[in-house]
Amino acid sequence: MQKSIPAIIRLVKKEVDKFENPIVTELGERDPFHVLIGCLLSLRTRDETTARASERLFSLANNPKAMLSLSTKQIEKSIYPVGFYKTKARRIKNICEVLIEKYNGKVPNDPNELLKLKGVGRKTCNIVMNYGFNNPNFIAVDTHVHRIPNRLGWIKTKTPEQTEQALMKLLPKRYWQDFNDTFVTFGQNVCKPVGPKCNVCPVNKYCKYYKEIFTRR
């Protein structure tokens, strides 16, 4: 059975309305600084842990200048137990120093400048541009956004960078901005990395991965 990609996305969106959005894209009403720091905290960390750590940290300091007034130990204590919390505390301090020295204490609204910040890769950059600055010209690709379109059979890519380029060619632009939110939520709750809930998936009949599993039975 064939169905258009926009129609499948609509089915996925309807399904994920049952669940909460990823914490990073909701931080501080999508304030660029909060989104940037929240995204750094979220790496290798569960959403609920990121949410609590972000709340504790931003209650102490919610802008680069205030963040620099904290010691590294204070930041470490506030964000524990996020993954690699000691490394992340140092990175947060470094980023805040650069923001103040080079960007007047503001997160730069420029992907090329964002990528110059230590610890900021393509995914974090695109999330900040997309959700922090409400720029619809980016698709943020994490493990879920990389995995699910490949499972569906829309693309055949090896890396998130390849997936980003492939999706930008494949998807109508009106879907770019919300694609990360939608498919991260879908990947966390339905199309999981291990033990995906294929039997209750609303798009299993259009999924290459599901058809391959069904054929082998």
Q: For the chain, which residues make up each domain, given as ranges?
A: 5-20+139-216, 31-132
> Which of 31, 110, 142, 169 does the annotation list as catalytic?
142
Q: Which CATH class is domain 31-132?
A: mainly alpha
> Which of 73, 123, 192, 197 does the annotation list as catalytic?
123
Q: Which pLDDT score is estimated for 29?
A: 62
> Is 208 annotated in the active site?
no
Q: Which pLDDT score is estimated for 153?
A: 96
Amino acid at 85: Y
> Is 47 annotated in the active site?
no
CATH number, span 5-20+139-216: 1.10.1670.10
Residues sharing a CB contact under 8 Å with residue 193, sequence separation 6 or more, in sequence order? 143, 144, 147, 187
- Nearest residue to 156 (alpha-carbon basis) of 83, 91, 63, 165: 165
Q: Average pLDDT per run of 10 along the chain, which is 217 residues long? A: 86 92 63 94 90 95 96 98 96 98 98 96 94 94 96 97 97 94 94 95 95 75
